[in-house]
Amino acid sequence: MKQSLIDKFNQRDAVIGIVGLGYVGLPLVLRFNEVGYKVIGFDIDARKTEKLNRGESYIEHITDEDVATARRSGFEAVADFERASECDALIICVPTPLGHHREPDLSFVTGTTDALIPHLRAGQVLSLESTTYPGTTEEELLPRVESAGLHVGTDFFLVYSPEREDPGNASFTTKSIPKVCGGHTAACLDVGLALYGKVIDQLVPVSSTKVAELTKLLENIHRAVNIGLVNEMKIVADRFGLDIHEVIRAAATKPFGFVPYYPGPGLGGHCIPIDPFYLTWKAREFGVHTRFIELAGEINSSMPDYVVGKVALALNEREQSIKGSRILVLGIAYKKNVDDMRESPSVILMEKLEELGAIVAYSDPHIATFPEMREHHFELDSVDLTPESIADFDCILIATDHDGFDYEMIRDHASLVVDSRGRFRESFPNLVKA
């Protein structure tokens, strides 16, 4: 069973099923399709599957032509799981958010797995790519698969291979980013490596699914902790009357022992604001208190309040209050030059400002209309930036520094600019660095 499945992957005769067609799943669809595999995409959002089947993309850095090319090569998108039995590999790429008390919410993973169970068969491999805590694959997926009468490691194979997507980064693609892979058994690992072997340039095998799960958390916790450090340093530098961005630029000239990280109004994206709390939650099961990680999380979570405070002080100096002030938030994506709003601190800033009575608007060249979100609701369209529209606001808050903004025009026509991203190197009279 194992060898025949590996042969299918090596000969590209296998059918690949990708479950979850978002920022992780859709690029993976296109990559498997590109090298010649038959691909079926699964997503419970029928609007997504309908657009894909029309050859249309809903992710900015993936073009309509990319999707249309895949369709011409046989790619199909479906909104139910009945066709999962046709697939030799099923790759789960669904969200793993936090609950209201910062506890892991695995409902998308477990719900997806439960929906797949009736359609699983011998001779398949199931790979989880969603970021999660160590033990999830063994504790949540394994018993569900075995409940279907399948024997993992002999007639069915189970792996964990975390996603490493960076939306909008043209330097690193699905193909070129090394991919970690761990199997429940040695046979599972062999099948997992064959699954990804034709689509990823470099595979990094590890000894277990738990190692692979913790590897993903370490990668993102490393970033979260260092961003927490530089965010705290920003507050210190501000008290000293110094520009933290100038300090970072100077420190980055050291050719060894220093890696530059940059402060901001908070953390965004689906991984870095969330993943540390997956580990801290699981660590408590083993009596471990991850104080260092939790402290970084607290600092990063507090940054929107710090920025709102800077806005309040800047307006106060102009004898205005936040209440009743017209504030334009520039950039609502979580990082510049993308349309990805997952966990964006810009949205938190908008909510906090609105709660204080501000009249909030936004401008983002990548997001024309504020989208439907599970927890955040604004009925707003992006404001076109002109000298007149800029001058019409009491404060311009730079929350995400897209390259598409005309910063010279903003500088020349805004009555007040609060810059939380360090976009402006030189000071000018109406600028406040936050």
Which band of pLDDT confidence, cut at 50, 70 and 90, is reported for residue 240?
very high
In this predicted structure, what is the pLDDT of residue 7?
95
Work out whether strand 38-42 and strand 395-398 pair parallel, antiparallel, or are unpaired: unpaired
Cβ atoms of residues 409 and 387 within 8 Å: yes
Which band of pLDDT confidence, cut at 50, 70 and 90, is reported for residue 270?
confident
pLDDT at 272 over 90: no
Q: Where in the chain is the domain with CATH 3.40.50.720?
A: 2-205, 267-290+302-433
- The percent of residues above 90 in pLDDT, for the chain, comes to 90
Segment among 101-105, 166-170, 288-292 with least mean pLDDT: 166-170
pLDDT at 304 over 80: yes
The CA distances from residue 138 to 154, 213, 275, 415, in Å, are 16, 11, 19, 57
Cβ atoms of residues 333 and 364 within 8 Å: yes
Instruction: Compute the average pLDDT of residues 132-153.
Output: 97
pLDDT at 368 over 80: yes
In this predicted structure, what is the pLDDT of residue 380?
97
In this predicted structure, what is the pLDDT of residue 99?
83
Instruction: Compute the average pLDDT of residues 121-134.
Output: 97
Q: Which range, 103-107, 123-127, 268-272, 372-376, has the best average confidence (pLDDT)?
A: 123-127
Instruction: Compute the average pLDDT of residues 330-354.
Output: 95
pLDDT tens-digit readout, 382-395: 999 999 999 999 99
As separate numbers, helices (DSSP H) first and strands (DSSP E) second, the chain gives 15, 13
pLDDT tens-digit readout, 25-54: 999 999 999 999 999 999 999 999 999 999
In this predicted structure, what is the pLDDT of residue 210?
98
Q: Dump strand ranges (E) for 314-401.
A: 326-330, 359-363, 395-398
Instruction: Look up the pTM and report it.
Output: 0.93
Instruction: Compute the average pLDDT of residues 112-138.
Output: 97
**Which CATH code is given to the segment(s) 267-290+302-433?**
3.40.50.720
Q: What are φ and ψ of residue 38, in 5° steps?
A: -75, 130
Chain mean pLDDT for the chain? 95
- The percent of residues above 70 in pLDDT, for the chain, comes to 100
Dihedral sign from CA coordinates of 126, 132, 135, 141: negative
In this predicted structure, what is the pLDDT of residue 260?
96
Q: Could you give the CA distance from residue 48 to residue 13 in angstroms, rounded to a whole number?
A: 27
Structural tokens at position 114: 């439960």
Which band of pLDDT confidence, cut at 50, 70 and 90, is reported for residue 90?
very high
pLDDT at 267 over 90: no
pLDDT tens-digit readout, 408-418: 999 999 999 99
pLDDT at 376 over 90: no
Write out the catalytic residue numbers: 271
In this predicted structure, what is the pLDDT of residue 165?
83
In this predicted structure, what is the pLDDT of residue 171?
86
In this predicted structure, what is the pLDDT of residue 169?
80
Cβ atoms of residues 160 and 185 within 8 Å: no
Which band of pLDDT confidence, cut at 50, 70 and 90, is reported for residue 101?
confident
Which class does domain 2-205 fall in? alpha beta
pLDDT at 156 over 90: yes
Q: Residue 59 has what DSSP assignment?
A: S
Structural tokens at position 250: 């100077």
Cβ atoms of residues 1 and 37 within 8 Å: no
Name the region of 324 (left: φ>0; alpha: ψ -120 to 50; beta: rest).
left
Instruction: Compute the average pLDDT of residues 413-424.
Output: 97
Instruction: Compute the average pLDDT of residues 369-390.
Output: 92
pLDDT tens-digit readout, 355-364: 999 999 999 9
